[in-house]
Structures are given as C-alpha cells and as structure tokens.
Amino acid sequence: MAAEKNSDGALAPLRILDFSRVLAGPFATMMLADFGAEVTKVERPGGGDETRSWGPPYDERGDATYFQSVNRNKESVVLDMSSEEGLAELRRRAREADVLVENFRPGLMADKGLDHETLRAENPRLVYCSITGFGSGEGGAALPGYDLLIQALGGLMGITGAPDGEPMKVGVALVDVLAGLFATVGILAALRARDRTGEGQLVEVDLYSALLAALVNQGSAYTIAGVVPRRLGNRHPSISPYEVYATAEGELVLAVGNDRQFAALCEELGASELASDERFATNPDRVANRDALGAELERLLAARPAADWASALLARRVPAGQVNDLGAAFAFAEEIGLAPTVEIPRDDGSSVRLTRNPIKLSATPATYRSAPPTLPEE
C-alpha cells in the first residue's frame, strides 16, 4: 500500500527515490517524508532492508523495532538491481524523481548505471545524495562504514568513558544520526539552489567527516590550540560543577554554567561560603579545583535524595536533574507537555507508537500518514 500523500506539507510534492538502508539514509528520508515528501524506499529481494531482521526487540507482530524507527511515511518497492528489468524500472523512477538518496559502497551505483553523472544526463533537476563511511576517494572508499568503527577512528571513543576505564561508544549509533541530519540539510540546500538555477547537484556526506564536524569545541581544542582532549567520564573539560554526583538516594546531574547558578547552588546546599571560597569563586577556579569541589558537593548532597535536590535546585534556576532511564525520560517529556510520541495506524487496524519529529512548523507541521511499510511480496 502506498503511503498517504500530504499535499499541504512543506515539501510536497517532492518525490524521493530512496536506495538507502540501515540508519543514516533512512533517517534523512524519513525527516523529509514527515514534511510531505513522497518517499519510495527501494528494497532488495530476499529480505529488504537489513534492519528488518535486526532484533530483538520486536513488536507484537514480530517486526523489528529498529527498522520502524526510521521508515514511517514511506512506500516500499522490491526491485532487483541485478536484473535488466529491475534496472530499467529504477532508471525510469530516477527520471521522475526530485531527489535520490543512496548509501551503497562507492562505485556500486556507477556499476549499475545509476550514478549521478549518468542520471543527471536524463534528469538535470535531480538532487543526488550519496552517503558513505569515509568518502568516495581512493583512500576511504574501501573502508567499511560502521558506526562503531567510526566512533573509534574518529576520536569520539577517545573522549567518552571514565579516565581510568576503557574507551566507550555512545549508547546509540549517533554518527549515523548526525550524518542523516547533515544529509537532510545538504538535500534541502541543493533543492533551494535548484529553485534558483533549475538544476540539481550531487550532495556527498561521509560519516567520518560528520563526526569530526560534530566534535565542535573538542575538535577546535585540537585544531586551534593543539590540545588532544582525554576521557573525563561525565565531567566537562571547561565547566565545573558539570557532572554526576551521588546523593542520599540516586544520582544527580549538575550542569552549572555560570557564577550566579553556582551561588544559588551553594545557598540551597546551606554552604553559601563556598561561592566566595577563592578555590571556587569563578569557573576557571572551579575547573582547576574540581576534585576538592566535588568532595564538598557530595558531602552536602548526601543529606537528601536526588529527586528532592533536583526539584529545589530547578526552582532556583540551577540546571539539575536525576539520571533517567528511557521509560522515565519519555514520562518526563509527557509531564512537561512535549508530547514525545505519536500513534500511527497500520493497515491491519493496529498501530505503532513512535517518537515524534522534534521540528515544529507553525503553518506546515510534520504529519504521520503511514506506519513503516511491510515488505511487499516479491
């Protein structure tokens, strides 16, 4: 069944031919689909997108929740790129598309006659987005673009984890998500240029560069000052107190970003004198003496549970909060009125609950027209 159209969406009637699999590409095309783009997901015979079998967990129908996280609002077709008939149909669809997205290994689309240069000859308005692991150049094309590998090679694991522990990956495939967001921005920029020139272009995003760009202040510490950041656990390299602290019950996060907040923290703790202590009077002082400060804070925080401290400190506009699991995280979003999830009906009368799109547009909001598609019969 085709995904329902949204003719009033911000990106309607944009047509996207989506060859991408797994996470980065599907995340980008779902973001565009939420705002009205018509996305046709091309899947391989014999199982489709790999994430259809990535589980547990599964839903009550036995479908992998991983696949469903990034594939709503799409129509799925099964076409065999190894057959002349399949390739002919894909070329026909490419001639009619506004955007094509792919994340195959570099060279595969060219081998099939589906590369940017070939397709632009037949469809000059096509915006062609290619997502790779390490770029399409000779040095990176042969490297496998897996998120964990890129977190390791790209330095993210080198700054994540306890100082005396092993390097740690982030608890979600964050590099894929970042690359998907960069791809979305690149596609929209190319479409805006097409509005002006009438011509599409090639958009290239590689996961490795996406990670390096996302290192922001940690990256500039190296590029500008030659500082190689190290693992600090939950500490911040430039701010204190900015980490996790033990309390009488549970852990409390403090993210104190200025001297006013620190003074308010000390007052709530019943230790106003700490704010004028020469070791802690300014943020640079607190960073230089973070161990001594941490010992003082944990001694004082031991008097009450984390939930009590969080409530009292937030009332004073001091950034503080408990460490939530995902269940508590979604519950907190509901509590403060963020409405974090949406229920999307399926063809069989059931529904799937997914995280909503975080972007709010006042006139052309995201819509949730169809659940992630089941794999069509071949």
CA distance 246 to 252: 6
Amino acid at 153: L
pLDDT tens profile 26-73: 999 999 999 999 999 999 999 999 999 999 999 998 899 999 999 999
Strand order in the sheet with 38-43: 74-78, 38-43, 15-18, 99-102, 127-132, 202-206
CB burial of residue 294 (10 Å; 0-12, 13-18, 19+) = middle
Nearest Cα to 133, choosing from 23, 16, 49, 48? 23
Under the banding of pLDDT at 50, 70 and 90, the label for residue 2 is low
Q: Say if CB 5 and CB 363 are below 8 A apart.
A: no
Equal fold, 15-214+340-355 vs 242-333: no
* Continuous segment of H or E residues that includes residue 220: helix 216-225
CB burial of residue 332 (10 Å; 0-12, 13-18, 19+) = middle
For position 378, what pLDDT does the model report?
66
Q: Enter the DSSP assignment of 117.
A: H
* Continuous segment of H or E residues that includes residue 299: helix 290-301
For position 222, what pLDDT does the model report?
95
Q: Which phi and psi (to 5°) does residue 331 adopt?
A: -65, -40
CA distance 285 to 293: 10
- How far are the Cα atoms of 13, 240, 264, 265, 274 from residue 284, in angstroms, in the given order? 53, 8, 18, 17, 15
Say which of 164, 176, 259, 348 is annotated catalytic: 176
CA distance 313 to 269: 9
Domain boundary assignment for the chain: 15-214+340-355, 242-333
For position 299, what pLDDT does the model report?
96
CATH superfamily of 15-214+340-355: Crotonobetainyl-coa:carnitine coa-transferase; domain 1 (3.40.50.10540)
**Residue in this structure with the two tokens 């570099």, named with its chain if needed:** 106
Q: Enter the DSSP assignment of 125.
A: T
pLDDT tens profile 79-107: 999 999 999 999 999 999 999 999 999 99
CA distance 71 to 251: 36
Whether 59 is catalytic: no
Residues 6+ apart with CB under 8 A from 355: 69, 340, 341, 342
CA distance 294 to 18: 50
* Continuous segment of H or E residues that includes residue 344: strand 341-345
Q: What are the beta bridge partners of residue 354?
A: 342
What mean pLDDT comes out for the span 306-315? 96
Nearest Cα to 93, choosing from 71, 73, 122, 70? 122
Average pLDDT for the chain: 95
- pLDDT more than 90, % of the chain: 92
pTM of structure: 0.92
Q: Which phi and psi (to 5°) does residue 130 adopt?
A: -115, 120
Structure tokens of 67? 């696949």
Please name the fold of domain 242-333. formyl-coa transferase, domain 3 (3.30.1540)
